[in-house]
Amino acid sequence: CGLLLSAGRSAWCHFGWYMCSLSLFHYSEYLVTAINNPRSLSLDSFLLNHSFEYNLAALSSWVEFTLEKLLFPELKQITWLSTVGLLMVIFGDCLRKAAMLTAGSNFNHIVQNEKSDTHTLVTSGVYGWFRHPSYVGWFYWSIGTQVLLCNPICVVGYALASWRFFRERIEEEEITLIHFFGEEYLEYKRKVPSGLPFIKGVKVEL
């Protein structure tokens, strides 16, 4: 359906781009998990049931796009802005998948509370740029979908909601990583930024 809409010349063309981006994101989450860590593979790996809030956010973006298309059709025909959003989506998704592939079997959609025998601290590749490249990718992917749709309300809403979610998720994850790897992770944390604006991760009392 996304490809069919993308082939048209109406304002729905950009919604077609969005549908293709959304489908590719969720399918590739499953595919990369199948490659990296097949033991943890399940239908949940598609992330379609990520959370009630995630589904509500998606529904909100569809409603905003439809209403604004009816009331302000010219707002949905800003091709250069939709193209910027598409580039954000591509960058974000590629960064996230690069992080998943680099982490290999260390990557899991669920924060792990127990260290396995094969669990190692990954600091190479995109993890040399950011401590949490998969979250950085998802952050810009999510905002990019709303830039693509020219949804001004959801751009702000997605940015704030995603920032808050990842701030809390990063703090939770870093407590676990410090417990797993101790000084090795603290040294890595000092050298490499989180990658997300104004998020420094868990504070460590010395």
The domain spans of the chain are 1-191
Spell out a b/e string for 190-199, using b for 16 or more CB atoms within 10 Å of the CB, else e: eebebbbeeb
Residue 205 pLDDT: 67
Residue 206 pLDDT: 55
Residue 106 pLDDT: 84
Residue 86 pLDDT: 97
Model pLDDT for residues 47-90, shown as the tens digit of each residue: 998 889 999 999 999 999 999 999 999 999 999 999 999 999 99
Pick the CATH number of 1-191 from 2.40.100.20, 1.20.120.1630, 3.40.640.10, 1.10.3720.10: 1.20.120.1630
pTM: 0.92
The pair phi, psi for residue 37, each rounded to 5°, is -140, 65
User: In which residue ranges of the chain is pLDDT below 50?
Assistant: none
Number of neighbouring beta carbons within 10 Å of residue 129: 14
Residues 6+ apart with CB under 8 A from 206: none
Residue 116 pLDDT: 72
Q: Number of helices and strands (H, E) in the chain?
A: 7, 0
Contact 143, 123 (CB under 8 A): no
Residue 100 pLDDT: 95
Contact 22, 146 (CB under 8 A): no
